[in-house]
């Protein structure tokens, strides 16, 4: 079994190749094989998945499904997270990979294709941003916070500002390092595990809290299951964000 440092080197190499592969796309708006999929997703996914399989890992990919899930290490892959942004030339899209073992997320990488900003984590060894070890930060109270969202909030929320950026793994990684103060998913059952798992490990290594709004386990290896991730720097803020999301689901009035 590869050690975590060797896995990290592998993921860097695979992501570098993914960046080059996407750069070769000539028609970024071309459709893929199913609704909501772009041809660019498949262009990146094929060689990326093959490299991971050749290295002896199992794979759970958004595009290709589950392969060799019985292997001791399984890479959860979003080849192009934020593919609509990528198709339109909006510079907020990434490749996200998280390797999982029997104890959960072990090694992850989230890299912006345009800026080449790279977030990495190894379980128990902290998280890095562009190779520099990140220190945990304290976020402001919610009334002063800038919160990233997915989907559309149905009414005004009690934070200072929000951003809807369109690439969950990057959004969550930015929460982890303190550039954003929280994350909440307002879509209904929209996130596969590949959307958030890379960012989840980075959050955990920095003490940032992340959970499903409806109490389900976020770490799983089921392609068809969906979750509603919420992240914050402290328990009080997390609980308020979770309550907001649940209230929206039930139609209750927020206070």
What are 23-80's pLDDT values in tens digits? Answer: 999 888 888 778 878 889 999 999 999 999 999 999 999 999 999 999 999 999 999 9
pLDDT attached to residue 36: 79
In percent, the amount of the chain with pLDDT more than 70 equals 97
Query: Among 20-24, 64-68, 180-184, 251-255, where is mean pLDDT lowest?
Result: 251-255
Which CATH number do you get for residue 235?
Answer: 3.40.190.80
4-23 and 39-54 helices cross at what angle (nearest 10)?
150
**Helices (DSSP H) in 32-167: which residue ranges?**
39-54, 83-88
Average pLDDT, rounded, for the chain: 94
Residue with tokens 């609980």: 239
Residue with tokens 């969202």: 149
What are 142-153's pLDDT values in tens digits? Answer: 999 999 999 988
Distance between CA atoms of residues 95 and 52, nearest Å = 14
Is the pLDDT higher at 13 or at 250? Answer: 13
Q: How many domains does the chain have?
A: 2
Residue (of 190, 201, 198, 255) closest to 225 by Cα position:
190
* Residue 225 within a domain: yes
pLDDT attached to residue 99: 98
Residue 252 has pLDDT above 70, yes or no: no
pLDDT attached to residue 255: 41
* Residue 128 within a domain: yes
For strands 161-163 and 146-150, give the pairing.
parallel
Domain of residue 24: give its range: 4-133
In percent, the amount of the chain with pLDDT more than 90 equals 85
* Residue 166 within a domain: yes
Residue 224 has pLDDT above 90, yes or no: yes
- Cβ-in-10-Å burial (0-12, 13-18, 19+) of 254 comes to middle
- Cβ-in-10-Å burial (0-12, 13-18, 19+) of 226 comes to middle
pTM of the predicted structure, to 2 decimals: 0.94
**Torsion angle (degrees, nearest 10) of CA 119, 100, 219, 52:** 80
Residue 206 has pLDDT above 70, yes or no: yes
3-state SS class at 224? coil
Which CATH number do you get for residue 27?
Answer: 3.30.540.10
* Residue 255 within a domain: no
Residues 167 and 198 in one domain: yes
- Name the domain boundary from 70, 102, 133: 133
Give 178's pLDDT tier (boundaries 50, 70, 90).
very high
What are 94-140's pLDDT values in tens digits? Answer: 999 999 999 999 999 999 999 999 999 999 999 999 999 999 999 99
- Cβ-in-10-Å burial (0-12, 13-18, 19+) of 83 comes to buried
Give 249's pLDDT tier (boundaries 50, 70, 90).
low
Strand residues in the chain grouped as ranges (E): 58-61, 65-67, 74-81, 94-101, 104-112, 118-122, 127-129, 132-133, 146-150, 161-163, 182-185, 209-212, 229-232
Residues 179 and 120 in one domain: no
- Name the domain boundary from 104, 133, 162: 133
Measured at the alpha carbon of residue 240, what is the angle toward residues 253 and 251, in degrees to the nearest 5? 25
């Amino acid at each position: 079994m590869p050690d975590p440092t060797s896995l990290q080197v592998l993921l860097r190499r695979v992501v570098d190749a993914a960046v080059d592969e996407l750069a070769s796309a000539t028609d970024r708006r071309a459709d893929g094989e199913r609704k909501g999929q772009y041809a660019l997703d498949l262009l990146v996914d094929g060689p990326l998945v093959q490299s991971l399989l050749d290295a002896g890992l199992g794979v759970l990919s958004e595009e290709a499904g589950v392969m060799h899930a019985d292997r001791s290490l399984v890479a959860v892959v979003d080849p192009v997270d934020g593919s609509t942004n990528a198709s339109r030339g909006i510079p907020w899209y990434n490749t996200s990979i998280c390797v999982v073992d029997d104890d959960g997320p072990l090694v992850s990488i989230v890299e912006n294709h345009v800026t080449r900003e790279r977030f990495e984590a190894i379980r128990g060894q902290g998280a890095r941003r562009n190779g520099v070890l990140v220190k945990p930060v304290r976020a402001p109270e919610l009334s002063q916070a800038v919160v990233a969202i997915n989907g559309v909030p149905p009414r005004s929320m009690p934070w200072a500002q929000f951003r809807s950026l369109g690439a969950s793994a990057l959004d969550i990684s930015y929460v982890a390092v303190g550039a954003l103060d929280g994350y909440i998913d307002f879509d209904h059952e929209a996130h596969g595990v590949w959307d958030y798992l890379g960012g989840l490990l980075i959050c955990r290594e920095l003490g940032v809290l992340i959970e499903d709004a409806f109490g389900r386990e976020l770490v799983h290896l089921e392609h068809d299951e969906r979750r509603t991730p919420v992240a914050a720097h402290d328990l009080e803020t997390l609980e308020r964000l979770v309550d907001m999301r649940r209230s929206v689901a039930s139609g209750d009035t927020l206070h």
